Chain A
Amino acid sequence: MTAPVLPAQGALRRRITPWLLVAPAALWLFVFNVWPSLNTLVLAFTNAKPLSGGHFTGLDNFGRMLDDDQLVDALLNSVVFMLVCLPVLTLLPLLLAVLVEKKIPGITFFRTAFYTPVVASAVVVALIWSWLLSDRGLVNGLAQAMGVLQGPLPFLTDRWLLVLSAITLTVWKGLGYYMIIYLSALGNVRRDLHEAAAVDGAGAVRRFWSVTVPGVRNTMLLVSVLVAVSALRVFSELFVLSNGTGGPGGRAMSLVMLIQLYSRGFYGHFGYASALSILLFVITIGPMLLLTRLSRKAA
């Protein structure tokens, strides 16, 4: 390291600069992603709590899951949530996309308006719907005024009505999002097929099923997987609608609500919360991997 100082320095800088640029993101990758993932695996086998513990307890947390009635309720809620959301949120946004596809005057305004619930916070949306659906809210009031109901329906205090209300607002909030995904896919559907079908005398409904749907089949699959994953991850909607209680007896909880419940405070149990997180990972990994493949195909 004596004579050609400058070239050597240049080479060193050339080797270091890329690392300098990538360092912050790499730090975040390890500190906030890789490490927590590994730590979840470790914590799940301990009894770590916010204020105490941290002993290795083997499979205790997983054994506890088997006896946890609240967990059974939460998983059942998720299944119902998913089964209702899947057909509705796969089909309705497609119809909506077909409706807004044609560039008629004012269409940008409608597209923008339909997308508004997507950018609102889930908390804001859930608070709006809490007010609409409360015992003395607009929905119950109008239904009684019109004579449809004798007394108010307990949308926010009955387990299944609560789940149904959360589904309703999830659909309402999700419509615009999936609509935009479909809209970009519709642009790729071959127009000549539509015209050929029209020549053959196929009506609008017929053309929707035999030209549009096959044309966006991959996108429909993508959307349905997205819907399934987000149904399994539902949190804010149920939490806010039930005012943080999870409904009567905590029976309208979701899996993520349970994870939140055990992550802190009086019920805090990092070990059990981590075991529940691993359960969430196990039930979402299939759809998530499928998603990666589908989006690669779409791109």
Chain B
Amino acid sequence: MAGMKTREADVRPAAVIAARPGRHEGRRRRRGGFGSTGPGELALRYALLLFVLAITVLPFLWQLSTSLKGPYEDVFAQTPSFIPLQPTLENYARVADTIPVWTYALNSVIVAVIVVGGNAVGATLAGFALARLEFRGAKLLLVLFLSTLVLPGEVTIVSQYVTVRGMGLADTLLGVALPGAIGMLNVLLMRTAFQAIPKEMDEAAVIDGATPWQRLIRLGLPNVRGMLSVITIFAFIGAWDDFLWPLIVLNDPKNFTLTVGLQYLNGTFSANPRLIAAGTMISFLPIVLLFASLQRFFFRGVAQGAIKG
């Protein structure tokens, strides 16, 4: 957890990233004013973009290529072929013989589902109460929620493990999932989202005799769907990608999550890069597909500070 934790007050719309430069662009191009893109500049831009694209994407493609190479293709050659000569999926089957990779994937899914569910419910309820209901101790609670943000997660990770162990949850998936099941940052982000709903709407509901539950479900929820998507997506990614915490909690190889299992594979059978490559792809591809289909939420999430690193 961390990174942009503290920017919860920064709720700029996605349009900041997606639309603004574009609008100016259009107006300027029509005027034919300064800095309009000439063919030379455009070519230079695309050349640079392709160069950076190669740097970012080639390592992934190289891994994908390695995962598809058969046993008779020399992956250690000094100038190996970039494209598999005889592409095969057998490494994906063989990695499952070496480590229970599908069980690990399932374990990661279980952890992610608990974390996503916990945050969607817990952060929404608390965010609403802190934003819109008055109660004793609300100020103090808010201060405590905020103050957790200055602590990098690694600082408390040891005593968090002691706590989880004390609950008898060491070496269990529940132990991995539980501490992150309600993220303090997510509570604050949801609070900010509820605060953005016009007060008058809420007051009208109060005058009509609506209970807090009715206000939350009928008025609140429809208006915070954007932020709710952001926190659930980032909760999923955070849980799926997490390494240090499950590495500390889990002991028995049959309970490993995907990240811990992959490191285990790397340590035990480092001889065959094809299998490791297949394993990394099993972990990477679902996240990439999720990212590609929901990318507008990601960029909004960064703008809002919902990132966990």
Distance in Å: Cβ of A18 to nearest Cβ of chain B: 4
**Are A25 and B182 in contact, with the CB atoms below 8 A?**
yes
Out of B21, B57, B158, B283, name the residue touching A103 (CB < 8 Å): B21
Name the CB-closest residue of B to A136: B76
Cα(A203)–Cα(B119), bound, Å: 49
Binds A, one of B31-39, B93-101, B195-203: B31-39
**Are A110 and B53 in contact, with the CB atoms below 8 A?**
yes
Residues of B near A262 (CB, < 8 A) are: 158
A8 in the interface (beta carbon within 8 A): no
A210 in the interface (beta carbon within 8 A): no
Main secondary structure of the interface of A (DSSP, over half): helix
**Are B244 and A39 in contact, with the CB atoms below 8 A?**
no
Out of A129, A244, A264, name the residue touching B263 (CB < 8 Å): A244
Residues of A near B59 (CB, < 8 A) are: 128-129, 132, 172
Within 8 A of A (CB), among B268-289: 270, 273, 276-277, 279-280, 283-284, 287-288
**Are A99 and B52 in contact, with the CB atoms below 8 A?**
yes
**Are A299 and B150 in contact, with the CB atoms below 8 A?**
no
Residues of A near B211 (CB, < 8 A) are: 13, 17
A145 in the interface (beta carbon within 8 A): yes
Cα(A236)–Cα(B262), bound, Å: 12
- Count A/B pairs, Cβ under 8 Å: 325
**Are A123 and B263 in contact, with the CB atoms below 8 A?**
yes
Distance in Å: Cβ of B55 to nearest Cβ of chain A: 7
B88 in the interface (beta carbon within 8 A): no
**Are B155 and A280 in contact, with the CB atoms below 8 A?**
yes
Out of B42, B149, B157, name the residue touching A259 (CB < 8 Å): B157
Distance in Å: Cβ of A38 to nearest Cβ of chain B: 8
Given contacts A121-B284, A195-B35, A281-B151, contact A32 B163 (CB under 8 A): yes
Residue interface bits A74-99, CB-to-B below 8 A is 1, else 0 = 00000000000000000000001001
**Are B78 and A33 in contact, with the CB atoms below 8 A?**
no
Residue interface bits A96-113, CB-to-B below 8 A is 1, else 0 = 100111111000001111
Residues of A near B144 (CB, < 8 A) are: 29, 34
Cα(A155)–Cα(B35), bound, Å: 44
B240 in the interface (beta carbon within 8 A): yes
**Are B158 and A43 in contact, with the CB atoms below 8 A?**
yes
B45 in the interface (beta carbon within 8 A): yes
Distance in Å: Cβ of B139 to nearest Cβ of chain A: 12
**Are A263 and B2 in contact, with the CB atoms below 8 A?**
no
Given contacts A25-B122, A43-B159, A175-B56, contact A181 B302 (CB under 8 A): yes
Cα(A236)–Cα(B260), bound, Å: 11
Residues of A near B151 (CB, < 8 A) are: 33, 37, 281, 288
**Are B266 and A130 in contact, with the CB atoms below 8 A?**
yes
A22 in the interface (beta carbon within 8 A): yes
Q: Tell me how many residues of B have a C-beta within 8 Å of chain A.
A: 116
**Are A99 and B6 in contact, with the CB atoms below 8 A?**
no
B63 in the interface (beta carbon within 8 A): yes
**Are A99 and B53 in contact, with the CB atoms below 8 A?**
no
**Are B6 and A127 in contact, with the CB atoms below 8 A?**
no
**Are B266 and A263 in contact, with the CB atoms below 8 A?**
no
Distance in Å: Cβ of A103 to nearest Cβ of chain B: 4
A274 in the interface (beta carbon within 8 A): yes
**Are B152 and A124 in contact, with the CB atoms below 8 A?**
no
Distance in Å: Cβ of B303 to nearest Cβ of chain A: 5
Name the CB-closest residue of A to B146: A292
Cα(A70)–Cα(B21), bound, Å: 49
Cα(A114)–Cα(B288), bound, Å: 12
Distance in Å: Cβ of A229 to nearest Cβ of chain B: 7
A289 in the interface (beta carbon within 8 A): yes
Out of B135, B154, B267, name the residue touching A280 (CB < 8 Å): B154
A267 in the interface (beta carbon within 8 A): no
Residue interface bits B50-76, CB-to-A below 8 A is 1, else 0 = 001101110110110010000000001
Out of A121, A134, A194, A195, name the residue touching B287 (CB < 8 Å): A121
Within 8 A of B (CB), among A10-69: 13-15, 17-19, 21-22, 24-26, 28-29, 31-37, 39-40, 43, 48
8 contacts between A and B (CB under 8 A): A19-B135, A22-B138, A40-B155, A104-B46, A184-B303, A229-B2, A277-B155, A288-B6
Inter-chain pairs besides A37-B155, A116-B57, A136-B76, 19 sampled, C-beta below 8 Å:
A21-B128, A22-B125, A22-B141, A24-B126, A28-B122, A29-B184, A33-B151, A36-B160, A100-B49, A114-B52, A124-B283, A131-B276, A183-B17, A230-B2, A240-B263, A259-B158, A274-B158, A280-B154, A291-B6
Q: Which 8 A-B pairs have the closest CB atoms?
A: A25-B126, A121-B241, A299-B10, A18-B135, A103-B22, A21-B129, A295-B7, A36-B159
